[in-house]
């Protein structure tokens, strides 16, 4: 009789503990940090190749100004609609080759056209009016990517714990390595 009373009184406490602790189990995540020694840090992206799950695509923007695409490389999650802006007093064109092929035609200042990137991979962005213009859209599976600070440092934050292939992309070439992300803290990827 005494035993039964004790069991009954403990059960609700255990249930409350379980309810409190379970959500925190899903919040465990670590960071992937490192440095990429490249001449132009704004032309690099470091990203995790594949992470379990499906991820929401945000909208993104690429500009054309002074006959230069900006940014030089735009990482996006698959399904992202990218707006292409023309900020110059002349005609530009936008076409893509590589993982996705399209041509948005030519247009003048103030007009915005867009393309939705549904095919994963690297897409070269070019302008057939100005052959010297070049940029890239990297269509990625997940939002775990990072640009570089001016000193080459990167941090991919809040990655679910596990083993991943990390790629360091720079001006059309990529190096890769495998890292094990801890439940808390960070792991360094040395390229």
CB nearer to Cu ion: give 35 or 124.
124
Smallest gap from residue 66 Cβ to Cu ion (A): 10
Q: Residue 146 and residue 137: Cα distance in Å, rounded?
A: 14
Q: Would you say how long the chain is, in residues?
A: 191
Residues ≥6 apart with Cβ < 8 Å to 101? 95
Residues forming contacts to Cu ion in the complex (CB under 5 A) are: 92, 127, 129-130, 133
Handedness of CA 84, 87, 91, 97 (dihedral sign): negative
Smallest gap from residue 59 Cβ to Cu ion (A): 22
Smallest gap from residue 70 Cβ to Cu ion (A): 12
CB nearer to Cu ion: give 129 or 174.
129
CB nearer to Cu ion: give 136 or 191.
136
CB nearer to Cu ion: give 104 or 133.
133
Buried (b) or exposed (e) across 154-183, using 16+ Cβ within 10 A? bebeebbeeebebbbbbeeebeeeebebee
Nearest 10 degrees: CA dihedral of 152, 158, 161, 166?
A: -30
CB nearer to Cu ion: give 62 or 189.
62
Smallest gap from residue 127 Cβ to Cu ion (A): 3
Smallest gap from residue 139 Cβ to Cu ion (A): 22
Q: Residue 90 and residue 108: Cα distance in Å, rounded?
A: 6
């Amino acid at each position: 009789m005494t035993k039964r009373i004790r069991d009954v009184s403990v059960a609700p406490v255990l249930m409350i503990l379980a309810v409190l602790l379970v959500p925190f189990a899903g919040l465990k995540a670590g960071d992937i940090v490192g440095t990429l020694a490249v001449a132009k840090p704004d032309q690099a992206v470091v990203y995790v190749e594949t992470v379990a799950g499906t991820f929401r695509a945000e909208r993104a923007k690429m500009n054309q100004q002074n006959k230069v695409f900006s940014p030089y490389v735009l990482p996006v999650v698959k399904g992202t609609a990218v707006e292409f802006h023309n900020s110059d007093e002349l005609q530009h064109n936008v076409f893509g080759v590589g993982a996705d092929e399209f041509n948005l035609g030519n247009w003048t200042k103030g007009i915005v056209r867009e393309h939705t990137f549904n095919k994963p991979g690297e897409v070269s962005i070019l302008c057939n009016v100005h052959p010297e213009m070049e940029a890239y859209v990297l269509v990625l599976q997940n939002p775990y990517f990072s640009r570089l600070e001016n000193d080459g440092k990167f941090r991919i934050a809040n990655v679910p714990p596990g083993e991943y292939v990390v790629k360091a992309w720079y001006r059309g070439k990529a190096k890769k390595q495998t890292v094990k992300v801890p439940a808390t803290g960070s792991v360094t990827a040395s390229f």
